Every structure is written in structure tokens, then in C-alpha cells.
Amino acid sequence: MERARRLAYRGIVRRLVSDAKRNRNGETTPHVPSVVPHSPARYVSSLSPFLSSRGSVNPGRHHQLQQKPQTRSISVDAVKPGDTFPRRHNSATPEEQTHMAKYCGFDHIDSLIDATVPKSIRLDSMKFSKFDGGLTESQMISHMVDLASKNKVFKSFIGMGYYNTHVPTVILRNIMENPAWYTQYTPYQAEISQGRLESLLNFQTMITDLTGLPMSNASLLDEGTAAAEAMAMCNNIQKGKKKTFVIASNCHPQTIDVCKTRADGFDLKIVTADLKDIDYSSGDVCGVLVQYPGTEGEVLDYAEFVKTAHANGVKVVMATD
């Protein structure tokens, strides 16, 4: 924009100097307007006090030269913020809206709305008196930055599966920030060429390699949802004949709550007990859920526990992260 202004003013100065030289030499020529067509000055901003003469040009004839340069007033709206919500997001200006309303037979857009949306179904609470007095986009960003600067970052000790992680830069750049791994298509489609499904397959393959298990599923929303699905699988394996599912007390509380909610739909009984107090003598236990590491950070060896559960025909589910 600044370069365009310089070009425009340079063209104006050249024209004025040329006029001065002609007058000094006694040449009689009509006055040339400050801005002529096809000069660099055609890039002058609408804020320029000089009015372009392009509107007075008659194609095919000589330009009608004006005797005096015309000026136009500058509206106050020109200095108002230009990134307001209506200006940025509403394609039709108020004048255009009024024109469209009149084309439909109404004086203004409000009359059109009154005729289209009956007042009987409107809510007075939807009227926001200060809606038009909101912040512009740049003002809102500045306000949000100011609010964010007041945050204080502390060390988190919440535990229960919530903790900070460090993602190596090479993984972040080539996987997390690579669109090839998170295509916009729904993952329910079965094309393996889609990046998201391919990344899930890679994850499943890695899990089977790490655990030595014959199969791996992927992927569910969170640990609680995965535990609930595992509980349902234990119930299905037992053909629904065993209706008790045991959850170790060292599991995350949110995981226990999700399992309890999901158990209602399967008519399953949830029993929360300490590891050493779990009893399989009833013969009604279809599965047991344990946590590794525990919700308080303890790391236990479950080898003997798993052997005992399997000896009693009970499936073991381990939530580990």
C-alpha cells in the first residue's frame, strides 16, 4: 500500500512540474487534473483527497480535462476498526440487506424478519443489548493474550492417569504434524490407505510386539471406555452366565465409574475390592480389572495374581499406561 501511495504522488508531482514548465514557456494548455487515467496514481487509496477522473472519461474521444481538481470528504468510518464481526463474517452490507429487503417488498431487513419469524415463537432473552458493542477480532485476541498472561503454571500432582508427556521432536514433526496420518475422512471407512487407519494398524502391531499377545484392538476414546469394553468382552466370553465383574481398588476412580455405568446395561454386578481380598469362590466372576501402575503410583508384580485368576476360570484385564 505504501509503495502504491508513493507511485501515485510521484505521478502527481511529475504532472504538476510539467504544467509549471509549460506556463513558464508561455504555452497555453488547459489545466490537467491531479490524477489522470492510466498513470501510477490509479492506485491511490480511497482515502486520497484527489478524485480520479476516470469516471468522466468518454471512450473513443479525448479526455475531458477539468479546470479544477475535485476533492471528496473522508468519512469517519474509514478510521474505525475494520475487523469487526459483521464486516469480517457477514457478506452483505447493511445497504445491501436493505436493498434485498426492498426487492422482497419490505422496507428493511427487520420487517422481513417480522414477517418470516412470528413474534409468538421468539424469546426476549435472545435480545442482547450490548451485542453490537462487542470487541473487534484484534481487540479480542489482545484481551485473550492479556488473560492468558495472568495464568500461573504449577507442577501437577493430580495423578490418576493425568500427567505431562514429552513427545520427541522427530515424532511430533513427522507424525503429529503430518497430515498424512490424520486424514479428514471418517475412520469408519475401511480403506487402509487412509492415514488414520494406517497409524492405528501400526499402533496395534507395536502393542502385540510389546505384550506378546495374539491380537490388539484400536482405538477407544479413553482408558475408562476401554476398560468398559474389556468388561463387556469378559461377559460375552462367559456367555453371560457369570454376572460379577471385580475391579481392584487401586484402579483410577474415573475408570471405576465408567465401568459401573456401563455394567447397568449388561445387568452386571460390580465389586470393588483390594487385591488380597478378591474371592473367586462364588464361581460367578467373569473377569477382574487391575491397574498398572496403580492410581497412587505403586508398581506391583501381577504374575501370581493372574495365575490364580486363570485357575478359577476368570479373565484378567489390565489397564496400563
Q: How does residue 53 score in pLDDT terms, banded at 50, 70 and 90? A: very low
Q: Which residues contact 102 (CB under 8 A, 6 or more apart)?
A: 108
- Banded pLDDT at 228 (limits 50, 70, 90): very high
Q: Is 161 domain-assigned?
A: no
- Residue bearing the bigger pLDDT, 194 or 264: 264
Residues 296, 230 share a domain: yes
User: Could you tell me the residue range of the domain that residue 99 belongs to?
Assistant: 87-119
pLDDT at 314 over 80: yes
Span 153-169, average pLDDT: 85
Asked if residue 104 and residue 44 are part of one domain, the reply reads no
Confidence of residue 193 (pLDDT cuts 50, 70, 90): low
Instruction: Give pLDDT, residue 174.
Output: 87
The answer to whether residue 22 scores a pLDDT higher than 70 is yes
List CB contacts of 108: < 8 A, sequence separation 6 or more.
97, 98, 101, 102
Lowest-confidence range among 195-209, 238-252, 282-296?
Answer: 195-209
**Least trusted range by pLDDT, from 26-40, 129-143, 240-254, 293-307:** 26-40
Whether residue 277 is contained in a domain is answered as: yes
Whether 60 shows a pLDDT value over 70: the answer reads no
pLDDT at 72: 57
Instruction: Tell how far CA 140 is from the center of its chain.
Output: 17
Q: Last residue of some domain: 178, 211, 244?
A: 211
Higher-pLDDT residue of 230 and 85 is 230
Tell me the one-letter amino acid at 19. Answer: D
* Residue 15: φ, ψ to 5°: -65, -40
Say if 230 falls within a structural domain.
yes
Q: What is the pTM of this model?
A: 0.53
How crowded is residue 183: how many other Cβ atoms within 10 Å of its Cβ?
Answer: 17
> What domain count does the chain have?
4
Q: In what order do the strands lie in the sheet with 285-292?
A: 269-273, 244-248, 285-292, 315-320
Most confident of 34-43, 71-80, 163-172: 163-172
pLDDT of residue 55: 45
In a domain, 248, yes or no: yes
**2 confidence band (pLDDT: 50, 70, 90):** low
Average pLDDT of the chain to the nearest whole number = 79
The pLDDT of residue 317 is: 96
Give me the mean pLDDT over the 117-142 stretch.
75
Distance CA 226, CA 221 (A): 7
pLDDT in the model for residue 252: 96
What average pLDDT does this structure show over 112-124?
82
Domain boundary among 184, 211, 238: 211
- CATH number, domain with residue 265: 3.40.640.10
150 in a domain, yes or no? Answer: no
